[in-house]
Structure 1
């Protein structure tokens, strides 16, 4: 029996196009142009799934999703939007969206998601109100709309209302602390303390007292009672950074806190109970450390209830323009500068460079570039020499005529200096034109090469003003 899908979008063209595609794929389709109309049709028809646009007049998609989750908790909802940001994705998944897809839609991926949604009966959990008010924001923000980062946002959205222990994995500089803060400040614990402790920054003989506190007279120099970080974080969140370097003794005590939510201060006999969410992070391979006997297996499994992996910057280079734009905005304000553009050659360098220090290194380079820029333009003269040297060496190692997959650099037509948004559009335009020439205008082959649906390719060509004669 054909599944019934409700498509909710305020644009008639989108509704019509999705109806055609879905009906060709064997679905029954009804459409609605507003949230009010969608609720009326849901009451009458009870669809098997809903495709829902986020940005609509009168009632936006998140508000409609909340009502659907309340009234029809078993109906999976797939959100669609052309505007992706961290908070929207977290809100969508936290409110109970089955999935979150970006426009222009990749129809193959959309159909695969829809098939999964109509076949898999997900456990339904009633959630609270959508994020609206937060304390004066958490310092720092996650930036990026690459598929890898979208997965991170979706996971955050699914777990923020729980107290599940989270293990964040990733290289140094990828933003593990920012993920921990995003979880805390979007959770019901947001008004309570967020306490961070760097397990490598404190000597081992002091770490126990730092974590669990001590009583007066517990050791030489303990002149007063001191609460530990777990007590300070009570009813809030404690973030244990670089947990892979804990000593066996501390690992054993941490395991007890995880299992019993209890501990004693050093020199004390009173058992202290705490209500705290634990988020841990490490740049080490904990599985390998468990095999080597350096990390307790039982502690590893207790920490790894939910695992979030943060990709290195070299694996999400499509986020570089967004990150640069964000950091330039920060340092314009900090240094009272007015940098508005970046040279094509600088962005090319950023794409080729491997960023061993990840996002943290990019931030430092942007800080220097804004500070050193003599005017509104960031040029190669503002970029550290070690970055330029590494790029030159890398290019010399390449054999003529080869392009490595991780270096998505294409020649840019036009001026050497472009605003960032225009530069991203130029990159897309140049990549499509280059593929059209290589495949002699065969759009099906171009779409496969660029990993796009043909409908998406046509939409991009129209948006970017690419004509067939460009091929």
Structure 2
């Protein structure tokens, strides 16, 4: 039966409470099924997956914590709110750690119950929307995107590391999630590591990696110790029980030539390389991307729906998009949020792009002394580091020496300031 009403499973061994909750929720237009004990709950859960489970902790046959773990193992996305008349803080913490979205104490007031249900369903809807965005097939009908999707489908189940190369904002993160969804460890977690969060403990890395997908973003920015550890784990085949995806916007061979990256590590991770194109190289995909971002922002962020005219979409196709797909997404979000009209036209696009160009250019040529100290300092750092990179022909190692900085610190600073060394 098709319905838009959320289905809520109420599990409680006390008939009066069970029926009271059922009546209250049905009055609020929810679909409700009930279970008097753990076995009935298991049967109802397997018969039809509910949108939300209200689960009592203390029951005669199977306790609620055990059911919580079981239901979460069967479906990690299911939303569960625990209920208890004599719960403790320790029990609430344990339930939350195991994946419960909330903990409601009895006796239940109607207001407390409905608010808990409403919040749980809202959070579930947001998580579903986020997961849908992360795991969706990369958008685009251009020959480049079709080829990339075909390549992903062919290589996703290989055991070798996969390297994603492309400019910042081009869509490497999206393709990493797509690879994970098609890979051998699709049922495992997608664990993203950055240069700042990369653990220097081999046991911790192996524990994180086991039967999961490890995505290392900004690979070139790993410090020397992290590079050496990753190389050791790969050479000794200690990361064989995971899917390893790495991403970089910097030329790794150039980093090797400048002694900024281990040559052995490059050989280990570049067996399968996917080049993610800049948006300017597949502008024919912009109309489809616009529709996709409008749908995502209106459902996920609750922004008002607005229609982009053909002329507006054509203007977007003729923009350079130095920030790639991420920049397009941000412009769409700003237009949905700030526009006063149901239709987005060329004038709106021009204003949005002009404002963005002004913001991007700010500080490139001179320091604005009207800015707060922190912003003025960032402006100076950008001018200063661009000059050092120009003096060294884009050599980050030499620029770091001129600036008196550690190389990895300079890499992080360049990333935070949005400076792409390939453009120097």
The structure carrying a bigger helix percent of its residues is: 2
TM-score by length of 1: 0.45
